[in-house]
């Protein structure tokens, strides 16, 4: 389950947005990503930080909070972890996300082909041919829980864009 | 060497010493009151003669039992315990009882080894050359488990230099024997326990997992690789050439550098039963799935 309550933050200068995210795989961790312009500042902290931000929420003015959630069953196939998430935005259904993780391997470049073959097995032609955009620049780096969060954020952003277009 | 004759000889010497002591004592005391008054000199002489005869007989026994002893073929090598004689006050060391204990212990080990050897030599799956040795005695008896530490270090650093994607670090947590931490690329880590140059134990784990000698990996793929590594240790086991054996094994382990990116030589795919090719052919190092291996 990925939760994303969204906070608009106004500091002196241009408005910035903080995304707070939770992943049920790491229940004792809160991921927060501060966006200011092109720059991103990620922060990994313990759950107290979430409480702190809730306290501060009344102080911050600006955009209303958007709560996005991907929730669904979790499967393990050998060392693969597959999660089917139903995406909701403020309780409205938006779509389905499929997360596939191959946990023994820590460098995405080593196992991308293997993951692709695995996804083709049950998604057929729906399986992506390319690695996610976020990962493409980081294929040789060691994968961390924050990378999963960043990919969810990337997907959630797509869903929200779809709303504004409509 | 048989212990029984040595025991007999020792007790013969004991008897001889005690009877010599008796003879000298009565000689030292001279004529006693219990010899009476009449012919006391003759009595005394007769008694002494008897005692000397006994001593004579004892001496003959000793000589006979010594004749039964076989001299050891080579001088006893006492190792470092030979230096014990340099210490004057033996009480200060308190080593004697410990030496006796360890002697008993090694003696027991020796006995068990003999039994085990008798059992194992009937087993056709033996990985040692014990039964061929009797047919064709080897000239050089190289030992693969009793190798000086610097020689082990040399072999390992040589291998380290040879295999580019592998890095090793040598630790010696248990005195002389090496426990090797190996990482292969950013794919896996392994911990290998050596006895001399003999690989005794290996655990393969993921690159980010913590290493110790007893817990296996969280991941199925590394548990399978560990299992195959045990098979490889046996396959490459070569007591006469321990360096070659270690080197072949490490080269084999190094080939797992491409564990996640290789496709199987048998079916051409990455996955079978959701597992990558975990088997490497021992000679060619070609990757195969567990189910596809030739
Ligand atoms: Zn195969």
pLDDT score, position B36? 77
Q: How far is CA B209 from CA B103, B109, B188, B206, B232, in A?
A: 43, 38, 9, 5, 23
For B252, phi and psi rounded to 5 degrees?
-60, -45
CA–centroid distance, residue B277 to ligand 1 (Å): 7
- b (16+ CB within 10 A) / e for B244-257: ebbbbbbbbbbbbb
Selecting from B207, B219, B270 the residue whose C-beta is nearest the C-beta of A79 gives B219
Which residues in A lie closer than 8 A to residue B275 (C-beta atoms)?
A: 78-79
Q: Which of B218, B258, B274 sits opposite A78 (nearest CB)?
A: B274
Is residue A105 within 8 A of residue B187, CB to CB? The reply is yes
> Touching check for B277 and chain A: CB below 8 Å?
no
- Preferred mutation among A75, A76, A79, A102 to probe B, highest tally of B CBs within 10 A: A79
Is A33 in contact with A56 (CB distance < 8 Å)? Answer: no
Interchain CB distance below 8 Å, A121 and B271: yes
User: For residue range A68-101, what is the model confidence (pLDDT) as tens digits?
Assistant: 888 899 999 999 999 998 888 888 888 888 999 9
Give the pLDDT score at B138: 47
Q: By the CB < 8 Å criterion, does B219 face chain A?
A: yes
Give the per-residue pLDDT at B112.
Answer: 95
Instruction: Name the residue ranges covered by the structural domains of chain A.
Output: 2-67, 69-162
CA A20 to the chain's CA centroid: 10
Per-residue pLDDT for A8 more than 80? no
Residue A43 tokens read as 């922060």
Q: Give per-residue burial for B178-210: e unless 16+ CB within 10 Å, then b.
A: bbbebbbbbbbbbbbbbbbbbbeebbbbbbebe
In this structure, are residues B149 and B176 in contact, taking their beta carbons and an 8 Å threshold? yes
Q: Does the CB of B23 have a partner CB in chain A at under 8 Å?
A: no
* pLDDT tens figures, A110-144: 999 999 999 998 888 888 888 888 899 899 999 98
CA gap B154, B158 in Å, rounded: 6
The answer to whether B207 touches A89, Cβ cutoff 8 Å, is: no
Residue of A150, A153, A155, A156 whose CA lies nearest to A138: A150
ipTM: 0.81
- Rounded Cα distance between B172 and B175, Å, is 6
Q: Which of A25-29, A160-164, B57-61, B210-214 has the highest mean pLDDT?
A: B57-61
CA distance B150 to B138: 26
Burial (0-12, 13-18, 19+ Cβ within 10 Å), A70: buried
Rounded CA separation A57/B294 (Å):
64
The CA distance from B260 to B270, in Å, is 8
pLDDT at B137: 47
Cα B257 to the center of its chain, rounded Å: 35
| Tokens, residue A128 | 């992506």
| Other beta carbons less than 10 A from residue B111's beta carbon | 10
Cβ-Cβ contacts under 8 Å, A114 against chain B = 260-261, 270-271, 276
Query: Which residue blocks in B163-255 are alpha helix, DSSP H?
Result: 220-235, 242-254
Among the partner-chain residues A78, A110, A121, the one whose CB lies closest to the CB of B260 is: A110
Which residue matches tokens 């969060």?
Answer: A149
Residue B122 φ then ψ, to 5° = -85, -10
Distance between CA atoms of B96 and B91, rounded to whole angstroms? 9
What is the pTM (predicted TM-score) of this model?
0.65
**Average pLDDT of chain A, as a whole number:** 80
Is B270's CB within 8 Å of A104's CB?
no
Neighboring chain A residues of B276 at a CB cutoff of 8 Å? 114
Q: What is the mean pLDDT of each run of 10 residues along chain B (294 residues)?
A: 82 94 89 80 89 94 88 71 68 75 92 89 61 46 70 89 90 85 93 89 93 91 94 87 90 93 92 92 92 88
B274 CB within 8 Å of a chain A CB: yes
A&B contacts, CB < 8 Å: 53
Q: In angstroms, how far apart are the furthest CA atoms of chain A?
A: 51
Give the residue from chain A lying closest to B263, CA to CA.
A114
Specify the higher pLDDT residue, A8 or B121: B121
Tell me how far apart the alpha carbons of residues B148 and A56 are, in angstroms, rounded to a whole number: 66
What is the CB-side half-sphere exposure of residue B118 using CA atoms within 13 A?
5
Task: Please list the residues that pair with B202 across neighbouring strands.
Answer: B192
Find out whether B197 and B246 touch, Cβ atoms under 8 Å. yes
Cβ contact, residue pair B274, A118, below 8 Å: yes
């Amino acid at each position: 389950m990925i939760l994303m309550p969204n906070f608009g933050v106004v500091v002196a200068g241009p408005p910035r947005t903080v995304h707070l995210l939770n992943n049920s795989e790491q229940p004792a961790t809160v991921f927060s990503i501060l966006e200011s312009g092109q720059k991103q500042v990620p922060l990994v902290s313990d759950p107290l930080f979430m409480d702190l931000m809730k306290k501060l929420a009344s102080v911050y003015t600006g955009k209303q909070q958007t709560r996005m959630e991907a929730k669904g069953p979790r499967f393990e196939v050998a060392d693969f972890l597959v999660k089917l998430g139903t995406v909701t935005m403020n309780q409205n259904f938006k779509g389905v996300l499929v997360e596939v993780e191959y946990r023994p391997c820590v460098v995405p470049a080593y196992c991308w082909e293997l993951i692709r073959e695995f996804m083709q097995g049950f998604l057929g032609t729906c399986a992506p041919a390319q690695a996610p955009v976020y990962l493409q620049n980081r294929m040789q780096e060691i994968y961390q829980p924050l990378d999963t969060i960043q990919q969810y954020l990337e997907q959630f952003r797509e869903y929200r864009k779809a709303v504004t277009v409509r | 060497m048989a212990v029984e004759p040595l025991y007999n000889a020792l007790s013969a010497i004991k008897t001889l010493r005690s009877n010599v002591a008796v003879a000298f004592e009565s000689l030292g005391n001279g004529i006693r009151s219990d010899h009476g008054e009449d012919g006391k000199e003759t009595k005394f002489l007769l008694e002494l003669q008897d005692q000397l005869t006994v001593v004579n007989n004892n001496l003959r026994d000793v000589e006979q039992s010594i004749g039964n002893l076989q001299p050891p073929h080579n001088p006893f090598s006492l190792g470092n315990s030979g230096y014990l004689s340099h210490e004057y006050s033996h009480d200060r060391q308190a080593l004697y009882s410990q030496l006796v204990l360890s002697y008993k212990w090694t003696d027991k080990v020796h006995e068990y080894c003999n039994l085990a050897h008798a059992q194992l030599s009937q087993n056709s799956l033996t990985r040692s050359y014990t039964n061929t040795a009797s047919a064709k005695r080897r000239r050089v008896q190289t030992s693969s488990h009793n190798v000086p530490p610097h020689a082990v270090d040399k072999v390992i650093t040589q291998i380290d230099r040879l295999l580019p994607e592998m890095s090793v670090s040598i630790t010696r947590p248990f005195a002389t024997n090496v426990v090797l931490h190996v990482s292969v690329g950013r794919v896996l880590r392994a911990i290998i326990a050596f006895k001399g140059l003999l690989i005794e134990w290996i655990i393969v784990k993921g690159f980010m997992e913590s290493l110790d000698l007893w817990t296996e990996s969280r991941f199925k793929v590394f548990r399978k690789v560990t299992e195959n590594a045990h098979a490889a240790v046996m396959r490459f086991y070569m007591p006469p050439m321990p360096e070659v054996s270690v080197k072949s094994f490490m080269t084999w382990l190094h080939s797992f550098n491409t564990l996640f990116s290789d496709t199987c030589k048998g079916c051409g795919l990455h996955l079978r039963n959701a597992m990558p090719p975990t088997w490497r052919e021992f000679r060619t190092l070609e990757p195969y799935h567990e189910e596809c291996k030739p």
